[in-house]
């Protein structure tokens, strides 16, 4: 049976496969099942298919033709064998079924025969029973006819008694009312409510009216008493609610009652507010002349009390109001809003008292509690939500501001320490803390403080704090308050403060910042530009993730640029200050000396040694904080000796013509040609952030001063020679500090040329003598 593989194109979708009960030769019991009860679904599925061996439309001829034409021999043989097997199996099934059913049929025949005998016997007994039943019903009818009259009378009597009992109760109503009105007004009310309808119905009967009037009077009195009670001060909210509820049941006017209720509630809430206010110091209209004493209890305590007392009561009252007077809250809302506003105001005053940087976690917890407690109230009073959120946000902002100020104070304190460390006299032989140490300490402590502050501020956005989920705290607070208001503002302020040391009133009397401090700050600003700012900003963005739609933030590069500008300004100023110090020394030394009457030079003047010493000291100082920097690759260390030889052989040659009194034009020509080939040197120009550049700046300022001063003097022969010696000495020791020794060389050449010009008797010293003097020291 079954077509299986061969049925491909002709099969309709429903008929294919063995999934439904429709058959397929793999399930041989299918036809039997269908015989006993084919389901409608199966019936519907059976489409006419002459090749379906199990189908009702099976046509052996078609099937045979199909199989013969489509299948290969091997498959045909296999099919034949399978069909044979199947037929044999079906035969044996059929035999088994036949046998089983035969047995059942025989036993059924036996049962039917037995039943026929029993029914005949039962028929006779049923007839007897019918006769007996007829006799019983006749006698029962007789008995009930005899008892009917009595029964009716009994029922009447029972009705009368019930009525009388009700009347009795009614009569007793006033008494009961009177008894309960004093002690259990609620019970009296229940009693009155029960009686009221009946009394009202029968009020046309005089006796009932009397009862009604009396109970009315009692209830009126009760209402009066309740009203009096309502005005009592000591009523707690629950009693108040009960009281008003009873009055409502007494059908007092709801309008009036709600007013009473609110005013009573108002008094109570006022009292609580007053209790809170009592904890605050009196508002000081004269300003902050005297600092108010620290509040008695901490803020958490205050908020706790406020929320449990005031907010709790308000909630309770508001919800009672709703149950009592329905959903119409037209009166309740303004009332609650006014009170809530006052509460907020009080809380704000209390927050304002948190002057210092008390425990932030305490503040956060207090605000959290406030916010949580208020949420219950806000469900009743949606209008207050904004105000409350605003209050919390304001408190948070205020705290952030305070942290900013604290940071600033801290930084100034650190700076003060640094200044002190720099100014402290050091015992000889014992080195104080070096500049790098000071810088590291300063940077680390400021960064540490900033981190600590961020950690504190982060409490505001902690997960377990309820208000942190407010949109303000998620977005604006992170960006505007913390990132911009705290971090960016601090960095900006730091740069400004640092700059202040350079721009500030340094020259008009105020104590100028020590140069080392300028250098230190320059390095600090530079470090900020290089790494610290991006680190801080990353840290901030991590801890306070900004939102995409949030307000625009100051980009890191802008801050870095500010820091760099500050660093540049400081370093320039440092160069100017140090340069001016050296220059001043040189100027005084040139101005005060008698250059005409001086004796033949035997030594380098002390001031030059001092200059070299100072510049060496500056070199050390700058070297502590700044990198070496690039020197123009002209001379390596090994060429140092060679250089001095080089200069000694060449330099005199270069300014030889200016010594000889030749035609005046020659000098000009020479110096002009010389200038044509040298770049213009800007003396006070911005420097780069490295040691060499800084030193070059200072040396330029010093030497240019020397040049200008020499030009203002008139020199004798020995004066000129002294300048020569000094110049050579400076060259010997200064070239190594400058980025381009040609700058030193050029300036010193000009000094020498000018000195020769200003000399009455320009006879230069032998160069070997000059070298000898310089080497001698």
Partner 1 sequence: MEDDAPVIYGLEFQARALTPQTAETDAIRFLVGTQSLRYDNQIHIIDFDDENNIINKNVLLHQVGEIWHISTSPADKGVLATCYNKTSDTKVMTCAAVWRMPKELESGSHESPDDSSSNTQTLELLCHLDNTAHGNMACVMWEPMGDGKKIISLADNNILLWDLQESSAKAVLSSSAALEGKGQLKFTSGRWSPHHNCTQIATANDTTVRGWDTRSMRQIYCIENAHGQLVRDLDFNPNKQYYLASCGDDCKVKFWDTRNITEPVKTLEEHSHWVWNVRYNHSHDQLILTGSSDSRVILSNMVSISSEPFGHMVDDDELSDQEEQHQEEKIKEPLQDSVIATYEEHEDSVYAVEWSSADPWLFASLSYDGRLVINRVPRALKYHILL
Binding residues vs partner 1 (CB under 8 A): 506-509, 580, 583-584, 587, 596-597, 661, 664-665, 668, 671-672, 675, 680, 682-685, 704, 708, 711, 714, 716, 757-760
Q: Shortest gap between Cβ of 525 and partner 1 (angstroms)? A: 21
Q: Which of 563, 509, 517 is nearest to 536 (CA)?
A: 563
Give whichever of 228 and 672 is closer to partner 1, judged by the CB atom.
672
Give whichever of 149 and 682 is closer to partner 1, judged by the CB atom.
682
Q: How far apart are CA 426 and CA 56, in angstroms?
A: 120
In the chain the first and final C-alpha atoms are separated, in Å, by 128
> What are residue 759's phi and psi, to 5 degrees?
-100, 135
Q: How far apart are CA 726 and CA 608, in angstroms?
A: 7
> How far is C-alpha 443 from the chain's CA centre?
27
Give whichever of 715 and 732 is closer to partner 1, judged by the CB atom.
715
Q: Which residue has the tokens 């040396």?
A: 699
Give whichever of 5 and 685 is closer to partner 1, judged by the CB atom.
685
Q: Shortest gap between Cβ of 520 and partner 1 (angstroms)? A: 22
Q: How far apart are CA 547 and CA 541, in angstroms?
A: 10
Q: Shortest gap between Cβ of 705 and partner 1 (angstroms)? A: 8
CA dihedral 215, 219, 225, 228 (to 10 degrees): -150
Q: Shortest gap between Cβ of 707 and partner 1 (angstroms)? A: 8
Q: How far apart are CA 404 and CA 264, in angstroms?
A: 46
Q: Shortest gap between Cβ of 666 and partner 1 (angstroms)? A: 10
Q: How many CB atoms lie within 10 A of CB 384?
A: 21
Who's near 390: CB < 8 A, 6+ residues apart?
none
Give whichever of 64 and 760 is closer to partner 1, judged by the CB atom.
760
Give whichever of 447 and 596 is closer to partner 1, judged by the CB atom.
596
> How far is C-alpha 33 from the chain's CA centre?
71
Give whichever of 397 and 704 is closer to partner 1, judged by the CB atom.
704
Q: Is 408 exposed, middle or buried (0-12, 13-18, 19+ CB in 10 A)?
A: middle
SS3 content of the chain, % helix, strand, coil (to 5): 75, 0, 25
Give whichever of 197 and 665 is closer to partner 1, judged by the CB atom.
665
Give whichever of 107 and 592 is closer to partner 1, judged by the CB atom.
592
Q: How far apart are CA 768 and CA 771, in angstroms?
A: 5
Q: How many residues does the chain have?
A: 777
Give whichever of 131 and 663 is closer to partner 1, judged by the CB atom.
663
Q: Shortest gap between Cβ of 563 and partner 1 (angstroms)? A: 22
Q: Shortest gap between Cβ of 708 and partner 1 (angstroms)? A: 6
3-state secondary structure of 661: coil
Q: Shortest gap between Cβ of 589 and partner 1 (angstroms)? A: 14
Helix pair 435-458, 515-527: axis angle to 10 deg: 50
Q: Shortest gap between Cβ of 518 and partner 1 (angstroms)? A: 15
Q: Shortest gap between Cβ of 632 and partner 1 (angstroms)? A: 20
Q: How far apart are CA 457 and CA 361, in angstroms?
A: 9
The partner residues of 715 in beta bridges, in order of sequence, read 759
Q: How far apart are CA 775 and CA 777, in angstroms?
A: 5
Give whichever of 352 and 681 is closer to partner 1, judged by the CB atom.
681
Q: Shortest gap between Cβ of 709 and partner 1 (angstroms)? A: 10
Q: How many CB atoms lie within 10 A of CB 665?
A: 8
58 within 8 A of 67, measured Cβ to Cβ: no
């Amino acid at each position: 049976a079954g077509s299986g593989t061969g049925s491909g194109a002709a099969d309709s979708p429903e008929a294919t496969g063995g999934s439904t009960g429709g058959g397929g030769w793999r399930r041989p019991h299918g036809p039997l099942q269908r015989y006993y009860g084919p389901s409608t679904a199966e019936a519907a599925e059976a489409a006419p298919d002459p090749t379906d061996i199990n189908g009702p439309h099976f046509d052996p001829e078609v099937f045979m033709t199909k199989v013969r034409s489509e299948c290969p021999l091997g498959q045909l043989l296999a099919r034949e064998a399978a069909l044979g097997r199947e037929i044999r199996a079906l035969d044996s099934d059929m035999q088994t079924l036949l046998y089983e059913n035969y047995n059942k049929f025989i036993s059924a025949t036996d049962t039917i025969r037995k039943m026929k005998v029993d029914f005949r016997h039962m028929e006779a007994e049923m007839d007897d029973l019918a006769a007996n039943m007829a006799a019983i019903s006749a006698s029962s009818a007789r008995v009930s006819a005899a008892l009917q009259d009595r029964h009716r009378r009994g029922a009447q009597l029972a009705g009368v008694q019930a009525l009388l009992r009700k009347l009795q109760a009614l009569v007793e109503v006033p008494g009961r009312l009177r008894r309960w009105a004093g002690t259990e007004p609620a019970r009296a009310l229940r009693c009155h409510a029960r009686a009221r309808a009946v009394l009202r119905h029968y009020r046309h009967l005089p006796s009932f009216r009397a009862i009604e009037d009396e109970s009315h009077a009692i209830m009126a009195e009760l209402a009066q008493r309740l009203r009096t009670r309502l005005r009592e001060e000591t009523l707690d909210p629950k009693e108040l609610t009960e009281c008003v509820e009873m009055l409502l049941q007494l059908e007092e006017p709801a309008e009036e009652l709600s007013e009473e209720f609110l005013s009573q509630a108002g008094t109570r809430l006022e009292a609580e507010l007053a209790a809170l206010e009592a904890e605050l110091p009196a508002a000081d209209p004269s300003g902050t002349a005297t600092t108010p004493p620290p509040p008695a209890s901490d803020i958490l305590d205050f908020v706790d009390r406020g929320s449990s007392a005031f907010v709790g009561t308000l909630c309770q009252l508001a919800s009672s109001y709703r149950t009592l007077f329905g959903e119409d809250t037209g009166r309740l809302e303004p009332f609650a809003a006014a009170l809530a506003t006052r509460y907020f105001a009080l809380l704000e005053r209390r927050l304002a008292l948190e002057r210092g940087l008390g425990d932030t976690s305490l503040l956060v917890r207090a605000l959290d509690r406030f916010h949580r407690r208020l949420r219950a109230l806000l469900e009743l009073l949606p209008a207050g939500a904004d105000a409350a959120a605003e209050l919390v946000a304001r408190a948070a902002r205020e705290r952030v501001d305070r942290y900013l100020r604290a940071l600033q104070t801290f930084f100034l304190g650190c700076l003060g320490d640094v200044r002190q460390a720099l100014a402290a006299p050091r015992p000889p032989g014992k080195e104080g803390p070096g500049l790098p140490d000071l810088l590291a300490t300063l940077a680390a402590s400021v960064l540490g403080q900033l981190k600590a502050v961020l950690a504190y501020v982060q409490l505001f956005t902690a997960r377990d704090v309820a208000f942190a989920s407010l949109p303000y705290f998620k977005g604006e607070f992170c960006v505007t308050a913390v990132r911009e208001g705290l971090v960016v503002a601090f960095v900006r302020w730091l740069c400004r403060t640092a700059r202040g040391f350079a721009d500030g009133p340094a020259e008009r009397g105020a104590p100028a910042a020590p140069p080392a401090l300028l250098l230190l700050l320059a390095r600090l600003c530079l470090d900020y530009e290089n790494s610290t700012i991006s680190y801080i900003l990353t840290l901030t963005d991590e801890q306070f993730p900004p939102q995409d739609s949030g307000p625009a933030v100051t980009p890191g590069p802008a801050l870095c640029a500010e820091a760099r500008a500050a660093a540049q300004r400081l370093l320039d100023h440092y160069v100017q200050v140090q340069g001016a110090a050296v220059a001043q020394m040189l100027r005084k030394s040139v101005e005060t000396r008698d250059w005409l009457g001086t004796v033949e030079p035997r030594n380098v003047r002390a001031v030059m040694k001092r200059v070299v010493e100072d510049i060496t000291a500056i070199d050390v100082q700058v070297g502590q904080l700044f990198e070496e920097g690039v020197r123009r690759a002209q001379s390596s260390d090994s060429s140092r000796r060679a250089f001095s030889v080089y200069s000694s052989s060449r330099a005199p040659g270069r300014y030889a013509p200016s010594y000889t009194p030749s035609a005046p034009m020659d000098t000009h020509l020479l110096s002009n040609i010389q200038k044509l080939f040298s770049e213009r040197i800007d003396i006070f120009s911005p420097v780069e952030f490295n040691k060499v550049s800084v030193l070059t700046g200072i040396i330029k300022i010093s030497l240019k001063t020397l040049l200008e001063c020499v030009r203002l003097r008139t020199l004798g022969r020995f004066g000129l020679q002294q300048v020569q010696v000094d110049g050579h000495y400076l060259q010997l020791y200064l070239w190594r500090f400058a980025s381009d020794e040609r700058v030193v060389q050029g300036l010193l050449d000009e000094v020498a040329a000018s000195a020769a010009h200003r000399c009455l008797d320009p006879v230069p010293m032998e160069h070997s003598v000059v070298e000898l003097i310089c080497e001698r020291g």
